[in-house]
Structures are given as C-alpha cells and as structure tokens.
Amino acid sequence: MISMRGLPATRMRALSTLSWWLIRAQFKTRRAATLLSMLAIALGVALGYAIHLINDAALSDFGRAMKSVQGDPDAVIAARDSAGSVPLATINAIARDPAVLLVAAVIETRVRIDNAPTPVRLIGIDVFSAMAMTPDLLPRQDEQAAAPNILDGGVYASPALLARLAQSAQDSQSSQGKDFGTRAGGTLKLLRGEQQWLATLAGDLPVARPDDLLLVADIAWVQARFGPADGVSEGRVRLAPDTDLASWRQAWAQRLPPGLLIRAGDDDSARVSNLSRAYRVNLNVLALVALLTGAFLVFATQLTAVAQRSTQFALLGVLGLSPRMRLLQVLLEGVAIGVPGSLLGLALGYALAVTFTQVLGGDLGGGYFAGSAPLIVPALAPALLFLALGCLASLAGASYPAYLNRMQPLAQALKTGFAQRPPADARPAARSWRYAHSWVRRLPLLPLLLALAAFALAQLPPLFELPLAGYASIALVLVVGIASAPLLTQLLFGWLSAQPLPAPQRIALQNVAQAPLMAQVAASGLIVSFALTASMVIMVSSFRVAVDQWLDHVLPAPLYLRSKATPLPLDLLGALAAPAAPFAKVERMANAALTIDPQRPQVALLIREIEPRDPAARLPFTGPLLAPPAAMPAVWISEPMAEIYRLAPAQTLRLPLLGREVEVFIGGVWRDYGRQFGAVVISREDYQQLGGNFQPTDLALWPLPGQQAQATAWLAPWAEQYGLEVADSAAIRRLSLSIFDKSFAVTYALEAAAMLIGLFGLAVTLAASVWLRARELATLGALGFDRRMLSHAVMLEGALIASVGLLIGLACGIAIGAILTHVINPQAFHWRMALAIPWTAVFAGAVITLAAAVLASRYAARQATRLPVAQVLANAQ
Amino acid sequence: MLRVSDLAKQYGKANRPLFSALDFAVGSGEIVALVGESGVGKSTLLNCIAGLDTADRGSVAIGPQALDIVALDETARAALRARSIGFVFQAFHVLPTLTVAQNIGVPLLLCGVPAGEHAPRTQALLERVGLAGFAARWPASLSGGELQRVAIARALVHRPALLLADEPTGNLDPRTADEVLALLLERVREQQTSALVVTHSQHVAQSCDRILTLTPNGLLESGCARQ
C-alpha cells in the first residue's frame, strides 16, 4: 500500500510513531512554555469566537424581535420623520393596487402606564389584517373576565408587561396600599405627555416575545386617543404572488409623497447589521491581535525548542530523517499546540458568550442591542473557521523555526549545536534570505520604505466603509519596528561595545550588538507588545480627554430633566414658567428621528431652543459658522452625519421633515460623541415655522443663584409623578466617563495580556540564548568570570534588549496611537479628536516593563550561573 | 561495501583543495581505520561519504547496489543513510527524551521496518551489547560506556551496509574504550558490515583490518594492521 507523497504505508506509520515520540517528549520537557502557547492561542480564538457568537445571536434576536412586531411583509411604507405619519389616502391607494394582496395599517406610539417608570409600546392593529401579517401580535381574550374585546376598546398586554405590572402592583401595595389593574378586567391609566386615557385590560398576547413590553389595541381606538387623525405610522404590504418587488418598489417610490419611504426586508437586515458593524470589526481586530500574540508565543517557544534540540534533530537527520520530515515535525508540533489551544478557545469562547449575554445582554458593550438577552447557538461552520484560524496562527508561529530546523547543517549542528542563521550555501532560497537580511541590517532603506508605505496607507479613505487601509498601516508600522531593531541595536551598542569597559558589560554589549536571532526575537516580542499597549493607552487617553472637553461644552446647565420618549407634561412646563419656580433659565429640547437612507440607522433630529445667531454657545463646532441665506432655515449637523452622508457647511440639504422634503442650509458641523449615526440640530423657531409641533422631551435648567438644592427638591415630585429623570451635570459627566471607562475595560485586559506575553517571550528567548551559549559562558567561567559577573552580563543583556524593544515599541506605539486616533476612529466611528499622549503613564509603563524585563532575565541569568562549567566544557570536546 | 572514486573537496572562499582524487574501497565485513593529522579533512571526508557534506567531484558508492550518494539529492541521501549507513559518534548522541529501546528503534522507524519486528530485534541487540534489561531505562541514568553501547546497537540494528565511526572511543576511559571497541568490531564482523573508523588512537587503528592515512598529498595505505 502506498500513501501520499509515495511513502509506503508502513514507513508512514513508523514515521508517525517517531513523530509522536518527539511531540510527547517536547510537551513533557517544555510543559510551561507549551501550555502558555496553547493558552495564548485559546485566548485569541475565544475572543474572536465569543464576539461572533454574541453578535450573531444578538443580530438574529434583533431580527426576530423586529419580525415579531412587524411580521413578515414584503415592504413597509413609513414616514422618514419619526414625528410624521403615512396619510390614509396613500394607504388606500396602495391597497387598490392589483399587485398588492394586503396592506396592514399600524399605529405605534409610546405611553407610560400610570406611574410605572418605563414607557411601553402601544400598537394599534387592524385585527383582520394582523391575522395574516403579524400573528405574534394577535390578542387572546380572557373569556372569564368581564372585559370588552379588541373591537370594543379592550387592550392586551405582553407577558413581560403583565409581569412588570404585577411587580409594580406588589411594590405599590406594600408601600402605598394602592391597587392596579393587572388582571383582565382591570383598568390601566395610559399617559402620554399631558394626555391621560383609561383602558381596560382584556387579555394577553400569547406569542409575543418574552422581553417585549407591548400593549396592543384596535387601531381605531389608538387613533382616536393618540392620533394621528388622518394617517397611520406604517403600512405593511404583502404583494401578490409573481409580483417583482424591485420594480413594484421603484414604481411606488416615484408616486409616494416626499416624506415617505418604502423599506424592504433587505433594508432592515442591512440597517441592523450596520448598527454594530464598525464596532464588531474593531473587536475582531483586537481578537486578531490576541491571536497574533499567540502566534508569536508559539514562534518563541518553537524556536527555542528547535534550538535546544538542534543536536537531536541533527542526529535524526544523520540517521536518515529527511529535511522535509524535519520541517514537518516542527510544523506538526505547532499544530499539536494549535489544535488543543483552539478547541479550548472554542469552549472558552462559548462559555464567555453565554456568560456575557446573561450578565450584559447582547450589546457587546457598545450599546447597540441593549436590553436583549439572546440565546447563544453555536453553529458548526463558524466553529470550524475559528478552529482553523487558531491552528493557522499556531502553524504560522512554527513555520520559521521549522524552516530553520530544515536548513540546519547536520554535521555542524552535531558538533557545535544550533546555527542561528541558515548556511549561506544551503540553497538558493537561503542565499536570497541572507542577502535580504543583510540589507535590513546594513541599510535603513527598507524600514524607511516600509514607513513611507505605512504613512501612505494611513492617508487612504475607508474601504467598504471600514478603515482597512488603516489596519494595514498599523501592521506595517509593527513590521518597520521589527525590521529596524538590528539597525538600531548596532547603532546604539556597536560603538559602545568597542569602548574600554568592564568585562561583563563588554560581553553583554558585544553579544547584543551582534544582534543574534534570539536577541532579535526577544526584542520583537517587546516591540509588538509595548507598541500595542502604548498605542491603546494613547488612543484611550486622547479619546477620554476629548470626551471630557466635549462634556464641558454640551452640559452647560447645572440640572437636566428628561422624559423617556414621551413628551413632557404641559402642567410641568407651565409650572416652570411661573415666577415661583426657582429657576433663572429653562431651555427645552425635543427629539425625533429621520430616515435619510433606509439601509442606515436613523439620524437624530434635535429641536432646540438655541440662539440662531450664536449656536456656538451650545454646540461645540469644529469649523466656521455660516449664516443661512434669507428665508432658508439653518441646521447644524454632527461630525458623524457630515462624514456618513458626505455633507459640508454651506451646502443645502433636503431634509425629510414633517411629511415633506424641506430644503435647509448647513450652517456648521459640531462635534458629537453621543450619537454615532449622526444628528442634526434645528432651532425651535425654525421647526415651528416649518409647521412642526414642538413637544419637549428634555430640559436644561439653570436654578436661581444659590438655589440648586431647592431646585432639585422642587423637581422631585414632578419626577416621581411622571417618571422623569433628573440629574445634575456632574452626575451625568461621572456616568458618561464611567460608561466610557467600562467600554474600554476589555482593551486594558488585552494590553496586560500582550505585555505578559512580550515579557514571557523575552524570558524564554534569553534562557534559550543562554542555553545556546552554554559553552561560551562555561569558557568564560573557566577563564575567571565568577557567578556574579556571569549573572550581571546576562541581566545586562536582557536590559539592553528590553531597552531597544521599548524604545522602538514606544516610537511605534505613538505612530499607531496617531493612526488609531486620526484614521481608525474617524473612519470606523466618525469620531475625531486631538492626539493627547499621556507621557507620564507611557514612561511609567516603559520603566515598569524594563524592570520586569530585568527580573525576567534573572531567570536566564540563574540558568547561566547554574551551568556546570567542567561538564559543559567536557561535552564540548 | 563502500567504493570512493576520484573524490575531491575544496574549502574556504579561495577554494583551496582539502583533498583531491581520493580512491579507496572497503569490502563487506572489512574494518578500515582512517587516521591523519588534525585539520587534514578526516571528518569532512566522513561527512562527504555520509552525504552530510557535498563533494566537489567524484563518487561514493554504497551497498550492494553501489548507489552513488554524491549524485543524489538531499532527500534521497537521507533515505540512503537511513537504509544503508550506521553511525557511531565520539559524543554518543543518544536522544535524551527517548528510552534506550526507543533510541535503538529509531533507525528501524526511519527504514520503515514493520512495527512487529522492532521489539525482538532491539532486544536481541541489547543482549549482544551487554545491555539486557536496559530497554526501559532513560539515557540520563547510563554511564559513558553504556551510552556508547546503546549508540553501537542503534548503528547496527537496521543491518546497514556501511558503518561510519568518528572517534568511537574518544570520550571513554581506556578500559571501557577497550570493551566498547571489541564489541564494535565483533558486531561489525558478525553482520558482515563494511566499516570506516576515524581515529587518532593508534590502538584503535591497529585493531582494524587496514589503515588509511589521510595527508595533504592524498591517501597512504599502511597495510593490514592486525596481520
């Protein structure tokens, strides 16, 4: 029987046995290093897989939630402005279209139930069309209760809402002795702004999703109480079979009034996916960094393993193990680390995803899917993909050591041990490698060219709306750092090593100046880990400083009050205007949402009582402020909106406002770190002149001098009665910065892991370097170096390598920090900010790392002084 | 058997000749000592014969099929070494992470000998080199003489056509060296293997069938030492 590559099956089996012996021996003798390599791979796989699982589950959950409420229509007709509506005439016209099978009209609004703090969605449905379109919203009448049915004004609550009401009732009963109607037949008081309506609970919504707080009633009942009088919120359309959706949509898009749009199913999924896309990609890049550091650890471990077993491999080569098999053996050892590491990573990733969703929900810390607790369902294909990625990372880490093992000159390795470079005449490939390598060593040209390429990449615009060129630029900066290490080492230490110095210092300097492979590997690990750590510290610090300054500007008032999505009650607004109120000034604001592009998340419309001649008093503008032409309203757009929709000051914009397209003038661009998908500010006067109904939802309050405590006390009963939130600006600032710090917590953990891996790489490679130079060190011992001198020489070597690594790492870190701040953040999240380098923190980090590196090199120094001089020299004969 | 014809090797950047036009043969069951001053090229000649170093000219035919190792590529040279050559080194080179039996079994694995034959062949050789009962021992627990016996067993277990030994007793005390040498010669003759032994020791050289002296001017034959 002949197997692959023409080897007889019996020989294959025999070689497999030998391979297994070697792998087992390797794992046994290098247990700690192998285990750490496995863990590093596991960490990368776990992070990537957990992010995938959480996001996949959250997206499916979000999609299901949308489908549950929206049903499964072919298309949805809706207003572009959340304050607008779809005219009934339009709904009727669409219903008469022969291509349309069914139109289900829906009115949706938010109400509060009595004094419960959380608003709920009140959905008015036409029960007959809902049967076909949104079966999840169909109510179940409680036959035993004396309650009207849906057509007679009964309302129906979802199980989650019923549970919430029961809990509120229990709390209120124990505290106030009040009773609420939480069973069928009971009465609910519905509040929206100053509007109050009583409704009778008639049953439940048996198939509503467990997390949804929903109230369903007949559409006419909702319309009569909450409006709009001549329209609906949405028309959900099911087309007749054989109707082409695209052409139907195109035809109707031209006939619809300008304030309306047609959404299809694809738009919904694209919009949901766009919500967290950049955030996901960023997290995945972090997972990739973790995987790469795992690959580096495999590289350091396998390189030292190859070096330490060089005579064993040389012997096996002499006995007949072919070069290909020697290469394959080290690759197999890489896979033997990668497979269990990746499997462990998959298990950890799954556990992490389950724990994360149970504790924090499915929003990945970015706030995109807050409130949902999706079910994690592992699928085979992604698991295999992440398994393959982990194995590939491990294989990549083992590939250069495997190549060196294959190229070892057998006779020489048997005599003198590991050759740190392939022999010059080994083969043409090796010659070209050496040639290229000597270029790197002798000329700064290659690092310089690579640095220029990195700079050029950082100037490129986003690809597929992602900062892919920026990520490539970061990778190139790291390559530049590693490539320039030998050059800098020779520059710094070459001259120094020729100076008259005490013997240990001179030995250490000479060894580092020659930049042997092990020293380069150790320095590379520190370059990469310190560069990534420093860059993250710089980016986070820049961002935090920017957010801090931004908060100063956007929180001018001492006190803030807001309702949750429902208009503020008029009696409160009236009381605030009365002379007895302890406030010097009150600014009102209303929120709405506009759909500019159906495939993108909505843009926030902020209607503010702002001084049109001095908007800079309230908004942090990034550029010049321009006055609009006469008779044209001005708007001020946020930075994300300017970048997403490619808008600039002085342009005019057709804004989908109040059921029509209104031409507005862009008067300026302001900085906004609060709304990633864009916001547009319009003054209350302009909004009302355009015919808008200004219903404030938020207030900025300036108490009378010295009366902040009285003002807070004055607001308390209103907040209690209407479920409003009151906070002072200091509390909002503290909360905002605490949310900011929490969202970057994962990066701090990764920074710590990266530094540990870098230091571990230094310790491992220094120890291997000592092992490789055992004869040299033993000779020095025989010539009169005592243990202290040997120890000093090795520790100084570690300190010198670490200094080079930290110096280059710092330079790369600043460059990467600048790319993260000026390229990645603006392109991925549309957040711009100034670079703020926390020099104290960065230098403190460098000093701590240097101290840790010296400590790590103590391990190698101890190895060096433990070498039995006589035995080593005897073996060397 | 081994036949070396017109073998030449240069060294250094100036391509100075180390040796040139070497011609000699070692017959089946014959043991030839290769002696010479340090730096004359004995080890390089041994490496060229084993295919660990490349000769600049000439041929090295090994085994009954007289395969020319110089003409083979790296992989084929490795395969020929696995099948037809056994090695004994001055520094033993026993794999520290494998047991004695596993060390001896390595050439059998590389030759693709069926697994069922490994244990009996290893056991038989262990008995013949005086290490019966050592199969499960680790190299770290053995003395220098015992390690070299393991190396001899490993060199002969796959019944190679040629045995190359580089100072096989150089690391041993005189009494152990005598025992190991006697064992090596006995087993080689028993298996009818051709053997080339590089040595500085007159005693070892005198124990061989013939002595070849490598000089800067070429090879000198000193006749049959034992006779």
- Compute the average pLDDT of residues B4-31: 87
Is A367 among the domain residues? yes
The reply to whether A745 and A718 lie within a common domain is no
What local confidence, expressed as pLDDT, does residue A455 receive? 94
B110-138 pLDDT, tens digit each: 888 888 888 999 999 899 888 999 999 98
Find chain A residues with C-beta within 8 A of B52's C-beta: 318, 410-411
The residue of chain B with its CA nearest to that of A314 is B93
Find chain B residues with C-beta within 8 A of A29's C-beta: 97
The residues that bridge with A656 in the sheet, in sequence order, are A661
The reply to whether A711 and A652 lie within a common domain is yes
The reply to whether A171 and A251 lie within a common domain is yes
Find chain B residues with C-beta within 8 A of A18's C-beta: 106, 109-110
The reply to whether A608 and A715 lie within a common domain is yes
What local confidence, expressed as pLDDT, does residue B213 receive? 93
Quote the mean pLDDT of chain B: 87
A760 has a pLDDT exceeding 80:
no
Is A592 among the domain residues? yes
The reply to whether A190 and A116 lie within a common domain is yes
User: B155 falls in which pLDDT band (50, 70, 90)?
Assistant: very high
Token match 């083979």: residue? Answer: B72
Mutation target among A319, A327, A405, A877 for the B interface, most CBs of B within 10 A: A319
B180-196 pLDDT, tens digit each: 888 889 888 888 999 99
A877 has a pLDDT exceeding 50:
no
Does the distance separating the beta carbons of B114 and A414 come in below 8 Å?
A: no
Cα-Cα-Cα-Cα torsion A20, A23, A26, A32, nearest 10 degrees, comes to -130
Helix (H, G, I), strand (E, B) or coil at A217: strand
Is A472 among the domain residues? no
If one compares A425 and A394, the residue with the highest pLDDT of the two is: A394
Is A264 among the domain residues? no
DSSP B208: S
The reply to whether A35 and A110 lie within a common domain is no
Find chain A residues with C-beta within 8 A of B171's C-beta: 877
A400-420 pLDDT, tens digit each: 889 888 888 887 777 766 766
Among A18-32, A387-401, A488-502, A754-768, which is the least confidently predicted range? Answer: A754-768
Return the CA Rg of chain A: 34
User: A432 falls in which pLDDT band (50, 70, 90)?
Assistant: very low
Find chain A residues with C-beta within 8 A of B139's C-beta: none
The reply to whether A575 and A510 lie within a common domain is no
A135 has a pLDDT exceeding 90:
no
If one compares A240 and A747, the residue with the highest pLDDT of the two is: A240
The reply to whether A661 and A779 lie within a common domain is no
| Count of domains for chain A | 4
Q: Which amino acid is at A873?
A: L
Q: Which of B81, B102, B171 sits opposite A319 (nearest CB)?
A: B81
Helix A31-70 and helix A9-29: axis angle, to 10°?
A: 100
Residue B46, domain CATH: 3.40.50.300
The reply to whether A537 and A586 lie within a common domain is no
The reply to whether A708 and A574 lie within a common domain is yes
If one compares A582 and B227, the residue with the highest pLDDT of the two is: A582
A11 touches chain B (CB under 8 A): yes
User: A270 falls in which pLDDT band (50, 70, 90)?
Assistant: low
Among A11-15, A432-436, A555-559, A714-718, which is the least confidently predicted range? Answer: A432-436
- What residues of chain B have any CB closer than 8 angstroms to a CB in chain A? 43, 47, 50, 52-53, 74-75, 78-83, 85, 87, 89, 91, 93, 95-98, 102, 106-115, 154, 171
A25 touches chain B (CB under 8 A): yes
Is B152 among the domain residues? yes
CA distance A868 to A16: 36
CA of B166 vs chain A CAs: smallest distance (Å): 12
What local confidence, expressed as pLDDT, does residue A273 receive? 64
CA distance A380 to A702: 58
Is B226 among the domain residues? no
The residue of chain B with its CA nearest to that of A427 is B74
Which range marks the domain in which residue A611 is found?
A: 564-723
- Compute the average pLDDT of residues A227-243: 84
Does the distance separating the beta carbons of A321 and B115 come in below 8 Å?
A: no
Restricting to A residues 310-339, those with a Cβ less than 8 Å away from any Cβ of B are 311-312, 315-324
Is B34 among the domain residues? yes
Does the distance separating the beta carbons of B95 and A11 come in below 8 Å?
A: no
Give the residue from A670, A692, A723 where a domain finishes: A723
Q: Which of B74, B81, B112 sits opposite A11 (nearest CB)?
A: B112
A293-341 pLDDT, tens digit each: 778 778 878 887 888 788 889 889 888 888 889 999 999 999 999 999 9
| Count of domains for chain B | 1
A746 has a pLDDT exceeding 80:
no
- Compute the average pLDDT of residues A245-259: 84
- Compute the average pLDDT of residues B169-175: 82
Does the distance separating the beta carbons of A320 and B110 come in below 8 Å?
A: yes
**β-pairing, A75-79 with A260-264?**
antiparallel
The reply to whether A135 and A254 lie within a common domain is yes
Is B52 among the domain residues? yes
A806 has a pLDDT exceeding 50:
yes
What local confidence, expressed as pLDDT, does residue A368 receive? 47
Which of A65-69, A524-528, A783-787, A817-821 holds the top average pLDDT?
A817-821
% of chain A surpassing 70 pLDDT: 85
Is the bond leading into A401 cis (omega within 30 degrees of zero)?
no
User: A4 falls in which pLDDT band (50, 70, 90)?
Assistant: very low
Is A479 among the domain residues? no
CA distance A370 to A564: 15
Quote the mean pLDDT of chain A: 80
B31 has a pLDDT exceeding 80:
yes
Is B128 among the domain residues? yes
Does the distance separating the beta carbons of A14 and B112 come in below 8 Å?
A: yes
A443 has a pLDDT exceeding 80:
no
The reply to whether A218 and A346 lie within a common domain is no
- In sequence order, what DSSP letters do the residues of A252-279 get, joined into one string? HHHHS-TTEEEEEHHHHHHHHHHHHHHH
Which of A342-346, A525-529, A537-541 holds the top average pLDDT?
A342-346
Which range marks the domain in which residue B216 is found?
A: 2-221
Return the CA Rg of chain B: 17
What local confidence, expressed as pLDDT, does residue A383 receive? 92
A669-689 pLDDT, tens digit each: 999 888 878 899 999 999 999
